[in-house]
Structure 1
Amino acid sequence: MIIVLEGLEGVGKTTLGLALAEATSSLYVKTPPAEFNPVRGAIAKAENRFANFYFYLSSIYTIQKTISPFKLSKDRHAVVDRYIYSTIAYHADGEDFNPPPFPVGSILSADLTVHIVCSDANREARVNNRGHHIFERVNSNEKAILTYFARQCDMEHKNDVTLEESTKSLAERIITRFTK
């Protein structure tokens, strides 16, 4: 099964994704992968929505071979930190949710997409603990992005408790959803 975690910066996608993957003996995959980091800064500085979109889309294409064995598998899982909905939402800072052209059917669909949310106070604390980050999306229309994620994702998970509690709760919800 391919489980995708989507959400705003600082909601705990990476921390929760790593913990969920470990707790369920799943593969954890982050987009863009680390090998994209040397180019990421130049793309961000270009402030070009098409460059942003195709850069992040290329990172999704890059992981297709890695995650394809997990598609619809009942016993093997991949937890993906950001996927196509983030790419679409952020390409124009939440001002336009119609992406530039790409062959939609050419990327694997997730078996489950989870919108991770948390309180503004927790999110602010997490972002502040990170320090300044060149890729923060300070000009994004976060209200529109939240609405977009809520419409696109299969479920929402509130990440305001301890990591252990949040991981256990999300794992239980996923199991319940797929054993009905």
Structure 2
Amino acid sequence: MGVFVAIEGLDGVGKTTVVQQLAERFSGHALSTPGRALRDSRKPVLEAFAEDELAKALFYTASVSSQGRLAHSLAERGEWVFVDRYWASTLAYAKARGVTADLDQLGRSLIQPDLTILLILDEPERQRRLHKRGATIEDIETLDPKFRQCVLEELRAHANLIVNLSFQEPQAACSIIAQAIRDQF
């Protein structure tokens, strides 16, 4: 049996890099939400739902459902699957944006990862990375301390494992995470 690992964290902590490196290290698959098929439609969908945070959350939830089914299928075939953002991020960001619908109930119907890892990073370094890559509107909202705290609290509540990447080179960070995963399985 394979393993489905969700990698969660704030924008700029290195999730994408870690997911790609873990997929290589474990000869597995690197997925993300929204998935590749939705990347081109993401911006127009979010613009169309500009004033409706619940609609945005449901768009991301649809992506989580789709990618979760794919991840589960691959894991059932005995493969390792690493997903860059999954349900915890969708829920955390929706709550921080003021969505009051019972998304927790909806989340129980989604495929659950075998392990959810929260990546954290020294805040000045995270902000430096955001500015270096050209911060998006979504990135910028995490600069607000109240918003960031709300997201982090929700992410922590859903994480099985928290890994601090502060002051770690990417390869070293990946090694630490890979060992933590091996320790779990």
Q: Which residue in 1 is equivalent to 2:32?
A: 30
Counterpart position of 2:88: 85
What is the TM-score normalised by the length of structure 2? 0.84
Structure 2: gaps of 5 or more residues: none
Aligned to 2:109: 106
1:45-96 superposed Cα distances (whole Å, 9 cap, x missing partner): 31311111110011112223421234477x5210011111111111243545
Report the counterpart of residue 177 of structure 1 in structure 2.
184
Task: Find out whether 1:122 has 2:128 as its counterpart.
Answer: no
Looking at secondary structure, tell me which structure has more helix per residue.
Answer: 2
* Aligned residue among 161, 174, 177 for 1:155: 161
Secondary structure in 2 aligned to 1:106? coil
Q: What is the CA–CA distance in structure 2 between the aligned matches of 1:38 and 1:158, rounded to whole Å?
A: 32
Contact 1:93 1:137 in 2 (8 A): no
Q: Provide the C-alpha distance between the structure 1 equivalents of 2:176 and 2:39, rounded to a whole number of angstroms.
A: 32
Aligned-CA RMSD value: 2.3
Q: How many residues align?
A: 177
Q: Percent identity?
A: 24
Question: Superposition pairs for residues 50-69 of structure 1, below 5 Å?
Answer: 50-69=54-73
Mark the CA change 1:70 to 1:85 in structure 2 (over 3 Å): closer, same or farther: same
Gaps spanning 5+ residues in structure 1: where? none
Matched residue SS, 2:139: coil
Moved over 6 A (4+): none
**Hey, what does 1:76 align to over in structure 2?**
79
Deviations 1:8-35 (A, max 9, x none): 1111111111111111111100100133
Q: AA paired with 1:20?
A: L
Change (3 A) 1:110 1:97: farther
Report what 2:15 is aligned to.
13
Whole-Å separation in 1 of the counterparts to 2:124 and 2:100:
27
Determine the C-alpha separation between the residues in 1 that align with 2:106 and 2:95. Answer: 19
What is the alpha-carbon distance in structure 2 between the residues aligned to residue 98 and residue 169 of structure 1?
37
User: Aligned with 1:87: secondary structure?
Assistant: helix
CA 49–170 in structure 1, closer or farther in 2 if over 3 Å, else same:
same
Amino acid corresponding to residue 154 of structure 1 in structure 2: N
Residue identity in the other structure for 2:172:
E
Q: TM-score, normalised by structure 1?
A: 0.87
- The one-letter amino acid of 1:167's match is C
Deviates more, 1:138-147 or 1:29-38: 138-147
CA distance in 2, matches of 1:149, 1:97: 17
